[in-house]
Every structure is written in C-alpha cells, then in structure tokens.
Amino acid sequence: DAKTTQPPSMDCAEGRAANLPCNHSTISGNEYVYWYRQIHSQGPQYIIHGLKNNETNEMASLIITEDRKSSTLILPHATLRDTAVYYCIAWANRDDKIIFGKGTRLHILP
Amino acid sequence: NAGVTQTPKFQVLKTGQSMTLQCAQDMNHNSMYWYRQDPGMGLRLIYYSASEGTTDKGEVPNGYNVSRLNKREFSLRLESAAPSQTSVYFCATALTSSYEQYFGPGTRLTVT
C-alpha cells in the first residue's frame, strides 16, 4: 500500500499558485518526500524532493511540516501545461521499492 | 542525448506469444527499472537492476523475466503473454538506486 495519501483531483486557475497536499503520517525518519508528475500518457517526470527542510527549484517548491506528517507541493504560476497527475512518494533512498499511488489529477483551468 | 528510449512504442500480441521490450539509456546511470501502469492506476514495479550484473524482483514480477545486458540496456521479456499483461510499460533509470528516476516514453502493449 502507498504510504502517502493525496486527494484524487484538484482544480486551479491558470496563473494562480497550485498547492497540492500530501499526507504521510507514517513516514520514517530516513524517508524523503518525492514528487513526480505524469503528463497525459508520458513517462513520469521528477519534480523535487526533500527530507525536513523546505526545498525550491526551477519547477516547484516543497513545504514539509515540522512533524513531517504532511507536505505541500507548490507550482507558483500554474499554466495549462501543468495539467497532469502528481504523485507524492515517501522513499528511503536505498535499494527499496518506490510505491507510486494513484496521485492527484490536477486540472488547470483557462 | 536521447535519454531513455524504449522500443517498440506499440505492440499487439495474441495470448501465448512471447516478446521482449527493450530499454536503453545514454545517461551513464547505474540503476534501471521496469514498471507497468494499468488504466487509471499508479505505476507498479516489475523488476529492477541496481547495477550492471544484478536484478531483483519488484512488486509484480510474475510472468516476466529481465536481462541487464550491459550498463546501457535492460530488457523485459514476456514468455507467454496473457490478457492480464495488457498495460503500458515504462522503463526508468537512476544514477544509483538512491537518486531520482528518469522515465522513458513507454510501450503500449495489448494482449488479445
């Protein structure tokens, strides 16, 4: 079973910030939070990951709560091209199986 | 730089036929993975190879075999295809098993 829980779908207006939540209440101390997205039927694309601190890169920001039980992926200025399924994954960065759940289907509205 | 390439892009098989899905990468990554994705579902790991010369079972290995031919290539073989193996198959690579994965474009397989 996936170790993370995400809403099945969300809408966001184009140009606004998209905030995608993820619960991982049973995350272990050595597990990172990873985010991937899958646009239409393409292969998944890595977005960002973090352990405890907030992270930012050219694609997104990741906010992890202090207790590490939940996190939020932020796409600062959503465009139509950000319409995709977003997967939140808890993974320990070792020879371990990554479990992709069903993710959140994000619809960007024009 | 092609990244991760998969062949073929589409395939239709009859029940009982065999075939091999090919994956190649030019990223000089050590780890390679095979996933399947059924309609409306997330990805499930079939097999992975943490490094050249090693392979391990993932979540759903039954009905499949793999070969890590060299550092660049990782193939997935269906010896006797079944309709339950109709799916989209993705290959992925990572610098090592501790790093993020990069995915190929997928192979869409239908078994009738």
Higher per-residue confidence, B96 vs A109: A109
Touching B: A residues 12-51, CB under 8 Å: 34, 41-46, 49
Which one, of A61, A54, A98, A32, lies nearest residue B97 by Cα?
Answer: A98
Sheet of A18-23: strands edge to edge?
A18-23, A70-75, A61-64, A55-56
Write down the pLDDT at residue A2. Answer: 54
Quick check: A3 pLDDT over 60?
A: yes
Contact between A18 and A12 under an 8 Å Cβ cutoff? The reply is yes
CA B18/CA A50 separation, integer angstroms: 42
Quick check: B11 pLDDT over 80?
A: yes
A95: exposed, middle or buried (Cβ count in 10 Å: 0-12, 13-18, 19+): middle
**Minimal C-alpha gap between A14 and chain B (Å):** 25
Write down the pLDDT at residue B98. Answer: 74
**Minimal C-alpha gap between A107 and chain B (Å):** 16
Tens of pLDDT, residue by residue over A11-29, are 999 999 999 999 999 998 8
Contact between B11 and B108 under an 8 Å Cβ cutoff? The reply is yes
Around A46, how many Cα atoms within 13 Å sit in the side-chain half-sphere? Answer: 16
Chain B residues contacting A via beta carbons under 8 Å: 4, 35, 40-45, 48, 50, 56, 58-59, 88, 90, 92, 97-106, 108
Write down the pLDDT at residue A66. Answer: 95
Please judge whether B42 and A87 are an interchain contact, meaning their C-beta atoms are less than 8 angstroms apart: yes
Average pLDDT over chain B reads 93
CA B3/CA A35 separation, integer angstroms: 20
Banded model confidence at residue A98, pLDDT cuts 50, 70, 90? confident
Please judge whether A46 and B92 are an interchain contact, meaning their C-beta atoms are less than 8 angstroms apart: no
A55-69, B4-18, B45-59: range with lowest mean pLDDT: B45-59
Quick check: A96 pLDDT over 70?
A: no
Residue-by-residue DSSP string for A71-90: EEEEETT--GGG-EEEEEEE
Share of chain A above pLDDT 70, in %: 94
Any long-range contacts for B19-22 (C-beta under 8 Å, 24+ apart)? B19/B77, B19/B78, B19/B81, B20/B75, B20/B76, B20/B77, B20/B78, B21/B75, B21/B76, B21/B77, B21/B78, B21/B89, B21/B91, B21/B107, B21/B109, B22/B73, B22/B75
- B68, two tokens: 């890590």
Banded model confidence at residue A100, pLDDT cuts 50, 70, 90? confident
Quick check: A51 pLDDT over 90?
A: yes
Higher per-residue confidence, A94 vs B51: B51
Q: Residue B74's beta-bridge partner residues? A: B68
Banded model confidence at residue B1, pLDDT cuts 50, 70, 90? low
